[in-house]
Amino acid sequence: MASRRKVVITCAVTGAIHTPSMSPHLPVSASEIAEAALEAAEAGAAILHLHARDPADGRPSQDPEHFVPILRRLAGHTDAVVNLTTGGNPAMTVDERLRPAAEFAPELASLNMGSMNFGLYPMLERTTTFRHAWEAPALEASRDVVFKNTFADIERILAIGRANGTRFEFECYDTSHLYNLAHFRDRGLVPGPMFVQSVFGLLGGIGAHPEDVMHMRRTADRLLGDDYEWSILGAGKAQMPLVTMGATMGSHVRVGLEDSLWIGPGRRATSNAEQVRQVRVALEALSLDVATPGEARALLQLKGAASVGF
């Protein structure tokens, strides 16, 4: 009897898209983020994608000191793969954004594969009361912010990965980003297997229609052949429909409160673990197996937890 396909679940725990006022369940402090990550791992997430926040006001932060208590807690209590962001927040400089990955040498780090508009300002229509003074201006400012990820920026972050053995979750928000990834592969700067995270439904990137999913898949197959592992991220209400669709097409999946605050129509998710459990039920209903952290490491050819810098 043939073995069933293993699907890697990534959980993006807090992120920089949502602000603390948008959900009482969004983890903000280091202890909240760490506990939310551990719960997600216990629920079945093989990879934990981490951002940090300033504990004073919940503002997204790439200060390595804000990651330290999170990483210390995870290192002693889970074997899940830790994936640190180099995306940070679109308003940050690249120097700010790459600091945690450079300092902590994780097994995996995210890498945005092209510059783009990154419109978060429509969230102002849904959230009108804010606890912190920075939240509304930050959302409004996204009308006029370009999320800068130039070829030179990408080269710098790839060089950090080569130096410390970190591999990347290549976040592709449109088909042009797949072409950029193929460009770096063709230059010998990106070894396989490439872990491609297709991002759908963020204003400024590709939409969240099923045709968009199929187009990204066809384009990735044509450009990257069989030397990549595909994963899907759907923003907001598109999260569960798109990751389920992707799983039927051969993808891995990413869920978490960074990407969506919802568990169903009009129902806020109460935790990251709740989303992991929901997608796990969908995967098992499709006769797919959930990959363990060890299986994810083997599939993505990661260096192992013993070789990280935390």
* Count of Cβ atoms closer than 10 Å to residue 121 Cβ: 16
Residue 88's SS3 state is coil
Q: Is residue 22 part of a domain?
A: yes
Degrees to nearest 5, angle at CA 139 with 181 and 273: 70
Reported pTM: 0.97
Mean pLDDT of the chain: 97
Q: Is residue 218 part of a domain?
A: yes
Report the pLDDT value the prediction gives residue 2, as an integer from 0 to 100. 60
Report the pLDDT value the prediction gives residue 129, as an integer from 0 to 100. 93
pLDDT class for 76, splitting at 50, 70, 90? confident
Q: Is residue 213 part of a domain?
A: yes
Q: Is residue 1 part of a domain?
A: no
Check whether 169 has a pLDDT greater than 80: yes
Distances (CA, A) of 113 to 31, 79, 254: 31, 28, 17
Domain that holds residue 258: 6-307
Check whether 86 has a pLDDT greater than 90: yes
Instruction: List alpha helices for 127-271, DSSP H.
Output: 135-141, 151-164, 175-186, 210-224, 239-248
Whole-angstrom distance, CA of residue 41 vs CA of residue 144: 37
CATH number at residue 107: 3.20.20.70
Q: Is residue 192 part of a domain?
A: yes
Report the pLDDT value the prediction gives residue 37, as an integer from 0 to 100. 98
Residue 115's SS3 state is coil
pLDDT class for 3, splitting at 50, 70, 90? confident
Q: List, for residues 117-143, the tens digit of each pLDDT value.
A: 999 999 999 998 999 999 999 999 999
Q: Is residue 127 part of a domain?
A: yes
Q: Tokens for 20? A: 């603390």
Written as one letter, the residue type at 289 is D
Q: List, for residues 220-270, the tens digit of each pLDDT value.
A: 999 999 999 999 999 999 999 999 999 999 999 999 999 999 999 999 999
Average of per-residue pLDDT across 290-305? 98
Domains identified in the chain, total number: 1
Whole-angstrom distance, CA of residue 269 vs CA of residue 278: 10
Report the pLDDT value the prediction gives residue 95, as an integer from 0 to 100. 96
Cis peptide before 193 (omega within 30 of 0): yes
Whole-angstrom distance, CA of residue 242 vs CA of residue 185: 27
DSSP secondary-structure letter at 119? B
Q: Is residue 231 part of a domain?
A: yes
Q: Is residue 171 part of a domain?
A: yes
Average of per-residue pLDDT across 67-72? 98
Q: List, for residues 21-57, the tens digit of each pLDDT value.
A: 999 999 999 999 999 999 999 999 999 999 999 999 9
Check whether 183 has a pLDDT greater than 80: yes
Degrees to nearest 5, angle at CA 93 with 90 and 97: 80
Instruction: List alpha helices for 17-168, DSSP H.
Output: 30-43, 64-75, 94-97, 99-104, 135-141, 151-164
Whole-angstrom distance, CA of residue 58 vs CA of residue 280: 30
